[in-house]
Amino acid sequence: MDDRLAWYPPGASDEPRWLDDDSGKAQLRAALAQRRSGVCFAAPGADARLMTLPITRAEKKHIAKSLPFTLEEQVAADIDELHFAHAALGKEQLAVAICSRDKMSQWRELLEEFPGINRWSPEPLLLPWQEGQWCLVIEGDAVIVRNGRCEGCSIERALLPVVLSALLAEGEVPEAVIVYGEDQEEDLALLPEAVRELAQWRKGNLYSALLLSADVDVNLNLLQGDYAARLPLRKWWLQWRSVAVVFAAAFALQLLAVFLDLRQLQAHNLSLRAAIEQSYRTAFPRGQIVEAEVQLQRQLAALRGTPQTSGFVSLVDRVGQAIATMPDTTIATMNYNDKTHEMRLNIIAADFESVERLRVLINEAGLNAVMESSNAQGDKVRARLRVGGSA
């Protein structure tokens, strides 16, 4: 206001508190520190252009990037020098505020000593408004006008009749015009005759109007994009760096301890696997080791025998009993297949009749013996028998 920062605290009088005064600064800083009430910066309406823009659902997804190019032909300045802020008014309508980047930088410098003001709203949108109404605040040589949900401006007092006449020419006559000012006769004389009879004059200023603005119905914040509020990371780091260093050191020590435990467990695991392999090789010198425990269990199951098949021990016992009755017959070699549960015997007998007799004895023992081959070997006979469970 008049190139000076001012603010209205909750419960203030009609006069603003100037922020070039130490008392006003202290009050604002205290309010920001307590965070009991949201503090909003009213950006001068003369420096912010307001408009509404129809939009489709597909355009909403990329509106932040495409908005400057969409409005490029509706602004006189280069879009790179302008800042565009937007907010949804509905499914197919957008509220837009445009101001220069220079102004945004100037305002940020002015408010730099008051951190925590995270809402910047164009001042026309802070006035109370209802459908079919206009709201005007006349203070000195300046006038703030709100003539729509996202429509309004701040102008010089002398330009008010021209601006209002232009609004009437472009749109419908409002149902009511709410005017805040100091001199009723002078203020109403500024209105075009078409709306003068509709005017409701109230003595007051901007603060008086703000008291009746219960809620901001358009959530249009200028702090977007490059000007969005940033987290105070540097401040947090300065406050918590000691704790962070201690935590990092403790975490590193924990990682080192876990790594040493892992190395020790890996070495112990290797020694256990070597011991398991050595024990397995004691029982089964040949073959590949995949899962020693499972393989040993299978081997033991095969040796014990099952109700369905004869195990190795059972076969050896029955075949041994049969051979024991024939002193002239010996076993040259013996192979056992644990998958088929069959045994192949190479025997040396006195003659072919001894071989046949042995085969019969094995069958009588409940097994199934099949002679696969036989041939003379000197004065002896060499034969090959395949012995399995009973057929």
Beta partners for residue 88, in sequence order: 94
Q: Give the single-character DSSP code of 3.
A: T
Cβ burial of 239 (10 Å; 0-12, 13-18, 19+) is exposed
Among 205, 228, 269, residue whose Cα is nearest residue 119: 228
pLDDT by 10s per residue, the chain, length 391 = 877 898 888 766 667 888 888 888 888 888 888 876 678 899 999 999 999 999 888 888 888 888 999 898 888 889 999 999 999 888 888 999 999 999 999 999 999 888 888 899 999 999 998 899 999 999 989 999 999 889 999 999 999 999 999 999 988 899 999 999 999 999 999 999 989 999 999 998 888 888 887 666 688 999 998 888 776 677 778 888 889 999 999 999 999 999 999 999 999 988 988 888 888 777 777 777 777 777 777 777 666 655 444 467 778 888 888 888 888 888 889 888 877 888 898 999 888 888 898 888 888 888 888 889 988 888 888 999 998 876 5
What tokens does 178 get? 């709410």
Residue range 291-308, pLDDT digits in tens? 777 777 777 766 665 544
Q: Cβ(387)–Cβ(322) under 8 Å?
A: no
Strand partners, 373: 384
In this prediction, residue 144 carries a pLDDT of 95
Q: Is 343 exposed, middle or buried (0-12, 13-18, 19+ CB in 10 A)?
A: buried
Structure-block tokens of residue 184: 């009723």
In this prediction, residue 298 carries a pLDDT of 76
Which of these, 314, 319, 309, lies nearest to 360 by C-alpha position? Answer: 319
* Residue 299 burial class via C-beta count within 10 angstroms: exposed 0-12, middle 13-18, buried 19 and up: middle
Q: What is the pLDDT of residue 214?
A: 64
Q: Is 99 exposed, middle or buried (0-12, 13-18, 19+ CB in 10 A)?
A: buried
DSSP state of 310: -
pLDDT per position as a tens digit, 99-149: 999 999 999 999 988 888 889 999 999 999 889 999 999 998 999 999 988
Phi, psi of 365 (to 5 degrees): -80, 5
Report d(CA 248, CA 260) in Å as an integer: 18
Is the pTM above the cut of 0.75? no
> How far, in Å, CA of 222 to CA of 100, rounded?
11
